[in-house]
């Protein structure tokens, strides 16, 4: 039997300087834990950009994509807490994507993450399966390096990726996103350069992040 596809929620945004303190308190003291407590969500991590942007990134890992397609999750998204209602509109140019994971190599969470949106329109004949195979092959090569932790391909679902208040719907595209995690900043930089050279992408959309907080569902039981 084919294993169930794991899911991910990807949220990236900038925040005005005057709103950063409250934004980070909200994320660290309420929002991250609220989402990790939901059935099927395994863990969540927050990051701060060290190269590129947006400045803030959050990744939520789920045992299956169904965790983000459940009545409970839909209710939580539609009925945000008072603090969330106050803070969400302060997220500038947010990018919220929910989708399934493929091309997964490695395990664990690294201190540094490289994010590379891919362009299917650059190679129209290339299918999602072919792109996943290409990402898996690259991930397997990167895994031979000592600072590699994991890599995966996120393929967003338009139906599940409901936008946040200030997302620009005119530029909103469901591009696949290749994610590389490593234990050092130098690995993150060199691995991203290798991915840029090999995968169909827009180089100016790439970014690298450092971990600021990781929360496991077992800590919220």
Rg (CA), the chain: 17
* DSSP state letters, 114-163: EEEEB-GGGSTT--HHHHHHHHHHHHHHHTTSTTEEEEEEEEE-TTT-PP
- Please check whether residue 2 lies inside any domain of the structure: no
Q: What is the pLDDT of residues 37-76, one digit of tens each?
A: 999 999 999 999 999 999 999 999 999 999 999 999 989 9
Q: Is the pLDDT of residue 218 over 80?
A: yes
- Please check whether residue 1 lies inside any domain of the structure: no
- Please check whether residue 67 lies inside any domain of the structure: yes
- Please check whether residue 25 lies inside any domain of the structure: yes
- Please check whether residue 199 lies inside any domain of the structure: yes
Q: Look up residue 117 and give its two tokens.
A: 């949106």
Q: What is the CATH number of the domain that holds 30?
A: 3.30.70.100
Comparison of pLDDT for 81 and 123, the residue scoring more: 81
Confidence of residue 84 (pLDDT cuts 50, 70, 90): very high
User: What is the average per-residue pLDDT within 83-108?
Assistant: 95
Q: How many domains does the chain have?
A: 1
Q: What is the pLDDT of residue 203?
A: 86
Q: What is the pLDDT of residue 163?
A: 92
Q: Is the pLDDT of residue 182 over 50?
A: yes
Q: Is the pLDDT of residue 168 over 90?
A: no
Q: What is the pLDDT of residue 1?
A: 43
Q: What is the pLDDT of residue 21?
A: 97
Torsion, Cα 209 48 159 169, to 10 degrees, reads -110
The residue range of the domain holding 105 is: 7-220
Q: What is the pLDDT of residue 53?
A: 93
Say how many CA atoms lie within 13 Å of 64 toward its Cβ.
7
Quick count: other Cβ atoms within 10 Å of Cβ 24? Answer: 17
């Amino acid at each position: 039997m084919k294993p169930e596809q794991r899911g991910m929620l990807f949220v990236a945004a900038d925040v005005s300087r005057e709103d950063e303190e409250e934004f980070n308190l909200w994320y660290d003291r309420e929002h991250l834990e609220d989402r990790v407590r939901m059935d099927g969500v395994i863990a969540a991590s927050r990051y701060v950009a060290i190269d590129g942007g947006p400045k803030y990134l959050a990744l939520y890992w789920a045992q299956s994509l169904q965790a983000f397609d459940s009545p409970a999750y839909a209710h939580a998204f539609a009925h945000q807490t008072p603090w969330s209602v106050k803070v969400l509109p302060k997220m500038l140019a947010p990018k919220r994507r929910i989708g399934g994971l493929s091309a997964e190599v490695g395990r664990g969470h690294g201190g540094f993450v490289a994010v590379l949106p891919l362009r299917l329109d650059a190679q129209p004949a290339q299918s999602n399966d072919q792109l996943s195979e290409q990402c898996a092959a690259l991930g397997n090569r990167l895994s031979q390096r000592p600072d590699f932790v994991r890599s995966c391909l996120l393929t967003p679902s338009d139906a599940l990726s409901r936008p946040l208040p200030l997302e620009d719907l005119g530029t909103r595209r469901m591009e696949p996103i290749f994610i590389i995690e490593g234990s050092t900043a130098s690995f993150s930089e060199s691995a991203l350069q290798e991915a840029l050279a090999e995968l169909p992408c827009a180089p100016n959309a790439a970014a690298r992040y450092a971990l600021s907080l990781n929360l496991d569902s077992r800590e919220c039981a």
